[in-house]
Chains A and B, each alone.
Chain A
Amino acid sequence: MYTQGLDIPKGDKSIPVAAHNSPEDLRFQARIDVDEKIEPRDWMPAAYRKTLIRQISQHAHSEVIGMQPEGNWITRAPTLRRKSILLAKVQDEAGHGLYLYSAAETLGISRDELVEQLLSGAAKYSSIFNYPTPTWADMGAIGWLVDGAAIMNQVPICRCSYGPYARAMVRVCKEESFHQRQGYEIMIALSRGTPEQKAMAQDALNRWWWPSLMMFGPSDKESLHSAQSMKWNIKRVSNDDLRQKFVDVTVPQAEFLGLTLPDADLKWNAETGHYDFGEIDWSELQNVIAGNGPCNKQRIKTRREAHENGAWVREAANVYADKQRARKAAAAA
Chain B
Amino acid sequence: MSRKDWPLFEIFLRSRNGLNHKHVGSLHAADADMAIENARDAYTRRGEAVSIWAVPSSAIVASDPSDKDAYFEPLAEKVYRHPTHYDIPDEVKNI
For B6, the chain A residues whose CB sits under 8 A away are 314, 317-318
Complex partner residue of B27 from A98, A317, A318, A321, CB under 8 angstroms: A98
| CA gap between A23 and B94 in the complex, in Å | 52
Interface residues of A in 269-319 (CB under 8 A from B): 311, 314-315, 317-318
For B8, the chain A residues whose CB sits under 8 A away are 105
Complex partner residue of B62 from A41, A92, A321, CB under 8 angstroms: A41
Q: How far is the CB of B4 from chain A (nearest CB, A)?
A: 4
The reply to whether B45 and A102 contact each other, CB–CB distance below 8 Å, is no
| CA gap between A102 and B64 in the complex, in Å | 21
Q: How far is the CB of A71 from chain B (nearest CB, A)?
A: 17
Complex partner residue of B2 from A39, A314, A321, A324, CB under 8 angstroms: A314
> Known contacts A91-B45, A318-B5: does B28 contact A111 (CB below 8 Å)?
yes
Q: How far is the CB of A310 from chain B (nearest CB, A)?
A: 10
Q: Which residue of B lies closest to A96 (CB)?
A: B42
- Asked if A268 is at the interface (CB within 8 A of a chain B CB), the reply is no
| CA gap between A39 and B63 in the complex, in Å | 13
- Asked if A168 is at the interface (CB within 8 A of a chain B CB), the reply is yes
The reply to whether B1 and A102 contact each other, CB–CB distance below 8 Å, is no
Q: How far is the CB of B2 from chain A (nearest CB, A)?
A: 6
Complex partner residue of B25 from A41, A112, A168, A325, CB under 8 angstroms: A168
- Asked if B50 is at the interface (CB within 8 A of a chain A CB), the reply is no
Complex partner residue of B42 from A99, A164, A324, CB under 8 angstroms: A99
Interface residues of B in 49-73 (CB under 8 A from A): 62, 64-66
Q: How far is the CB of A172 from chain B (nearest CB, A)?
A: 11
Complex partner residue of A317 from B4, B24, B30, B62, CB under 8 angstroms: B30
- Asked if A253 is at the interface (CB within 8 A of a chain B CB), the reply is no
Contact-residue bracket for chain B: 20 to 34
Complex partner residue of B65 from A39, A102, A311, CB under 8 angstroms: A39
For B31, the chain A residues whose CB sits under 8 A away are 317, 320-321, 324-325
The reply to whether B45 and A95 contact each other, CB–CB distance below 8 Å, is yes
For A95, the chain B residues whose CB sits under 8 A away are 41-43, 45
- Asked if B15 is at the interface (CB within 8 A of a chain A CB), the reply is no
Per-residue A-contact encoding for B1-40, CB less than 8 Å = 1, 0 else: 1111110100000000000000011111011011000000
Q: Can you report 16 A-B residue pairs in the complex whose CB atoms are below 8 A from each other? A: A39-B65, A41-B62, A95-B41, A99-B42, A102-B25, A103-B25, A110-B4, A111-B4, A112-B2, A164-B25, A314-B6, A317-B30, A318-B1, A318-B5, A318-B6, A325-B31
Nearest 3 CB-CB pairings of A with B: A321-B31, A321-B30, A317-B30
17 additional contacts (CB under 8 A) given A91-B41, A167-B25, A321-B31 = A41-B62, A41-B65, A42-B65, A95-B42, A95-B45, A102-B25, A105-B26, A111-B28, A112-B4, A314-B3, A317-B30, A317-B34, A318-B1, A320-B31, A321-B34, A324-B33, A325-B31
B interface vs A, CB < 8 Å? 1-6, 8, 24-28, 30-31, 33-34, 41-43, 45-46, 62, 64-66
A interface vs B, CB < 8 Å? 39, 41-43, 88, 91-92, 95, 98-99, 102-103, 105, 110-112, 115, 164, 167-168, 171, 175, 311, 314-315, 317-318, 320-321, 324-325
